Amino acid sequence: MVKVRWYYWPEEATGGRKQFHGAKELFFSDHCDHQSTKTIEGKCIVHSLKDYTRLEAVGLEDYYCRFNYKADTKRFPHNKVSVYCKCEMPYNPDNLMIQCDDCKDWFHPGCVEMTNAQAEKLSNYLCDECTYKKDVEDTPSMATCKCRRT
């Protein structure tokens, strides 16, 4: 016998799978019990999201976890997650994102009217807000003009 702590798939938790849950995302739970070693089918490695995104290659046994789940109450206790992009969604490592070179915010290509193929070819990127700020700064205004009218 071995003591195990269970991880849950998003589909098994309250609320189910959301758009931002990656295909290999698991929830760490407080559910523990004892299992026969004969019931173990294989091995998996559960990484933090940060470590998972740093893997050079994701293997079949690699998964990640960023949320805790209380199985007895079916709740997520005080899980805070950062949101990104115009859509204000948490990061999903299955989806490509691009970073603005100026403000350092992250965006989904589709949310900034770009295909993934176009985004993958970029060497630099400025989001709409930073592009607008740059355009305003580069446009001379009458208040700052040092010319004379006659």
Same domain, 2 and 67: yes
**Which tokens go with 42?**
């294989």
For residue 44, what is the domain's CATH number? 2.30.30.490
**Which tokens go with 135?**
């355009």
Query: Is residue 145 in a domain?
Result: no
Same domain, 122 and 67: no
Give tens-digit pLDDT for 81-104. Answer: 789 999 999 999 999 999 999 999
pTM greater than 0.75: no
**Which tokens go with 14?**
């309250």
Q: Are 3 and 32 in contact (CB under 8 A)?
A: yes
- pLDDT exceeds 70 at position 45: yes
Give tens-digit pLDDT for 119-141. Answer: 999 999 999 999 888 777 776 65
Query: Is residue 113 in a domain?
Result: yes
> What is the Cα Rg of the chain in Å?
23
Query: Is residue 147 in a domain?
Result: no
Query: Is residue 61 in a domain?
Result: yes
Question: Which residue range is the domain that position 25 belongs to?
Answer: 1-81
Query: Is residue 102 in a domain?
Result: yes
Which of 57, 81, 105 is a domain's end point?
Answer: 81
Residue 107, Cβ density class (10 Å: 0-12 exposed, 13-18 middle, ≥19 buried): buried
For the chain, what is the total number of helices (H) and then of strands (E)?
3, 8
Same domain, 75 and 2: yes
Same domain, 73 and 112: no
Same domain, 32 and 104: no
For residue 111, what is the domain's CATH number? 3.30.40.10
Cα 87–chain centre separation: 12
- Cα separation, 122 vs 126, in Å, equals 10
